[in-house]
Amino acid sequence: MRGEIPNMIRKFPEHFLWGASTAAHQVEGNNVHSDFWLMENINGSSFTEPSGEAVDHFRLYRGDIGLLTGLGLNTYRFSIEWARIEPEEGKFDETAIQHYKDVLEACKEYNVTPIVTLHHFTSPQWLIQAGGWESEETPERFARYCEYVMSKLGDAIPYVCTINEANIAIGIKKIMEKHQSGGNAQVGINTGMMTRMQNYYAELGKAFGISPQEINTFLAPRSDQGMEIIFRAHTKARDAIRQVCPTASIGITLSLYDFQSVPGGEDHAANELYEEFLQFLPYLQNDDFFGLQNYTRSVFGPDGMLPVPEDAETTQMGYEYYPQGLESVIRKAFEHLNKPIIVTENGVATDDDEKRIAFINRALEGVHACISDGIPVLGYMHWSLLDNFEWQLGYSKRFGLIEVDRSTQKRIPKRSAYHFGSIAKNRTI
């Protein structure tokens, strides 16, 4: 009924965090020590194009933060790049630390609250050579990096996310299994990329200096042991951060679909919720908040996940356009975890900015409904601040509130940016 009352005034809390998100590798450019840089630039790469200088946020961050606050937003979620901080194992780059200190100082100057993510998909090349995200040593290595960063910068970081979308490899593994069995892999993953990946792994192994079977990047399909390693890395990092920065609020982010079912599909939907979320709850009990990320829904029938209906509106990623899913996922997450929630990513890939505006409106209506029912949603970070490098899919997918002319790196705020900023300034939707 709430969505049927267009004139209803929805007021958000005074200290609500209104912001937008980026990830270092997707915006900074020239991340030459990361595993992804190597993967993008090898012969036969599965990437549509390399990241290159991206949108040059490494150099233009101050202006971008100024744009964010000029729109009316008060929070910026960004990531610190492990491969820049520790380009060789045990050797920390003080110049890189100073750069991120400068970013945090810019946030302070503009009165912007930073939410910092310490790992957003990319890892140092040396970590992959040492076993990557299937190695028993990785949790300790990750905790050491997190402790170092927070000992240097933590006084300026009120909210820290250890790992972005720690559960993502589960979905990637399922999609690859479907593809290998001849199934119809769908929803946002370039299946042609999967085929090319099989063909170029031998070259990739040569580049890393290890066998193809040993290439365990963060986004590679995970074994059960590998999933445990990721979440142990989170808990070890959380404990290490608390030792050096006890005032920081610490969480993790997970990507969750709105799992739905038609008659006969209830068990499938329940199993997906368990695999993607519930099984990890023991690792999250000592967190201070939960970073929730949602883009669409998944609907299950008696035989498993149903395809997106032919008549459904879809995004550039192939997702069903479904902003109302966010409210449902917030409610489900709080029901099971009972912790404060920050929406760390929610958005839509489209060149139709009017659809982005409508998406923001509907998503925020759901957020407000949750707050009205007593769920402690602390903030909403739109994905993303800038049109950027969308991993294997290159620069063709437009998630940003701000367009970037990459020939000049000129920033062009979209109408959706001003619309979202107006909501933030007025705290009403």
Domain that holds residue 267: 2-426
Alpha-carbon dihedral sign for residues 50, 51, 52, 54: positive
What pLDDT score does 171 carry?
85
Pairing of strands 75-79, 113-117: parallel
Furthest-apart CA atoms within the chain: distance in Å: 62
CB proximity list for 6: less than 8 A, separation 6 or greater: none
* Residue listed under structure tokens 């170092």: 148
Residues with a known catalytic role = 165
Q: Distance between the two ends of the chain, CA-based, in angstroms?
A: 16
Q: Which residue has the tokens 């009972």?
A: 338
Candidates 16, 28, 67; CA nearest to 381 is 16
Q: Containing H/E element for 159?
A: strand 159-161
Which ranges of 209-352 would DSSP assign to H, the alpha helix? 224-244, 266-276, 281-284, 325-337
CA distance 185 to 176: 8
- The CATH number of the domain where 9 resides is what? 3.20.20.80
Half-sphere exposure of 15 (CA within 13 A, CB side): 3
State the Cα–Cα distance between residues 198 and 180, nearest whole angstrom.
10
Structural domains of the chain, count = 1
Q: Measure the CA–CA gap between 127 and 267, rounded to whole angstroms.
A: 38
Residues of the chain with pLDDT under 70: 1-7, 176-198
Amino acid at 61: Y
Instruction: Please state the length of the chain.
Output: 429
Helices (H), 181-324: 191-208, 224-244, 266-276, 281-284
Interaxial angle between packed helices 138-153 and 94-109, expressed in degrees from 0 to 180 and rounded to the nearest 10: 50
The pLDDT value given to residue 5:
47
- Report the pLDDT value the prediction gives residue 200, as an integer from 0 to 100: 79
